[in-house]
Amino acid sequence: MPRLVIVSPCYNEEAILAYSARELTQLLERLIASNKILPTSHVLYVNDGSRDRTWEMIEELHQENTFIDGLCLAGNVGSELAVMAGLMTAKEEADVVVSIDADLQDDLGAIEEMIDRYLEGYDIVYGVKKSRQADPFLKRTTAQAFYRLQQSMGIRMVYNHTNFRLMSRRALEALSRYPERNLYLRGIIPMLGYPSTTVDDIIRERVAGESKYNYRKLLFLAVDGITSFTTRPISWIVGMGFFCLLISILMAVYVLVSYIEHLAVPGWASLMLSLWFIGSMLLLSLGVVGQYIGKIYIEVKDRPRYHIAQHLQHHD
């Protein structure tokens, strides 16, 4: 039987904590009673520098409820890093960790299914939103357009999945080897390579409190979701350079013909030729410099180059 830790990031969530603690405790009790998880399983709330009474409430819950643990970050670092802090702390004490937003908009019933998949041998189980009807129209459509853009750039993503997922200890160990600061968990986890599967997640309205994400924050997250994974925009610059070079060759022919036929005003031919040629040289040079910067960027990330899934050996 595995020991489960449920990690939940909280930023100004005082309105919902009591409800969340009640629901998660009930869930743990049910799973323990049905012998799915060890009785030492628990919840780990991560306070992400809240400015309201969130941390005091977590302290109180911890006092009166043995299922509730808390982790208080020194300041607000954003939900991705708060989840990471929780996962890395839970990794030391858990066999399997589920991360879920504190507002419990996700489907709690899916957690039991996630455990079942884990017991079948999956290291990562993604909660995939069945329907996003609870999300406002603009948020839903922009999110979906963004997933498509990422896919078209070769970034592997799980469609309609946010931060509701199960990870085994082995997967968390692999995740701990990604030291990057611009953390975008949804992009990194598919890169780990361990067996993964999905379960359905039916999203509900927030029961209390408000969304902590505004469009400005979402836009930053979206930019990270692209620039943290691919140097493809640099290749586009190179492509543009070659395109302009092609045009400059066509231009050369056109300009020469006009020149010979005496159709051009004096000065036009040399101007046209140098304009396109210099333009294409500038873009190409930028692309070359960009290729080097792209390499530096990939090295600086210091990501692990592989993860080991199994190692058969006779002697230690």
| List of residues contacting Mg ion (CB under 5 A) | 101, 103, 105
- Residue from the set 79, 99, 248, 280 that interacts with ligand UDP by CB under 6 A: 79
Q: Is residue 224 part of the contact set for ligand UDP (CB under 6 A)?
A: no
First vs last C-alpha separation in the chain: 27
- Residue from the set 14, 15, 19, 76 that interacts with ligand UDP by CB under 6 A: 76
What are the structure tokens assigned to 103, written together? 């507002």
Q: Is residue 69 part of the contact set for ligand UDP (CB under 6 A)?
A: no
**Chain centroid to CA 137: how far?**
22
Q: Can you tell me the distance from the alpha carbon of 44 to that of 203, in angstroms, rounded to the nearest whole number?
A: 22
Q: Is residue 20 part of the contact set for ligand UDP (CB under 6 A)?
A: no
Which one of the spans 21-29, 58-66, 86-94, 206-214 is the region binding ligand UDP (CB under 6 A)? 206-214
Q: Which does 11 bind (CB under 5 to 8 A by kind): Mg ion, ligand UDP, none?
A: ligand UDP
Q: Is residue 123 part of the contact set for ligand UDP (CB under 6 A)?
A: no
CB of 108 to ligand UDP, least distance (A): 14
Q: Can you tell me the distance from the alpha carbon of 260 to that of 255, in angstroms, rounded to the nearest whole number?
A: 9
Residue with tokens 């922009």: 142
Q: Are 108 and 23 in contact (CB under 8 A)?
A: yes
Q: Are 153 and 232 in contact (CB under 8 A)?
A: yes
Q: Is residue 211 part of the contact set for ligand UDP (CB under 6 A)?
A: yes
Q: CB-wise, 43 or 283, nearer to ligand UDP?
A: 43
Which one of the spans 28-36, 100-108, 260-268, 274-282 is the region binding ligand UDP (CB under 6 A)? 100-108
Query: What radius of gyration do the chain's Cα atoms show?
Result: 26
Q: CB-wise, 10 or 68, nearer to ligand UDP?
A: 10
CB of 56 to Mg ion, least distance (A): 22
Q: CB-wise, 48 or 123, nearer to ligand UDP?
A: 48
Q: Which does 224 bind (CB under 5 to 8 A by kind): ligand UDP, Mg ion, none?
A: none
Residue 47 Ramachandran class (φ > 0 left, ψ -120 to 50 alpha, else beta): beta
* Of 28, 31, 64, 59, residue with least CA distance to 45: 59
- Residue from the set 9, 86, 225, 290 that interacts with ligand UDP by CB under 6 A: 9
Q: CB-wise, 8 or 196, nearer to Mg ion?
A: 8
For the range 136-140, what are the long-range contacts, defined as Cβ-Cβ under 8 Å and sequence gap of 24 or more? 139/218
Q: Are 123 and 202 in contact (CB under 8 A)?
A: no
* Of 126, 108, 148, residue with least CA distance to 28: 108
Q: Is residue 213 part of the contact set for ligand UDP (CB under 6 A)?
A: yes
What are the structure tokens assigned to 159, written together? 């469609």
Q: CB-wise, 78 or 187, nearer to ligand UDP?
A: 78
Residue with tokens 């600086």: 300
Task: Give the footprint of ligand UDP on this chain (CB under 6 A).
Answer: 9-11, 13, 48, 76, 78-79, 82, 101-103, 105, 211-213
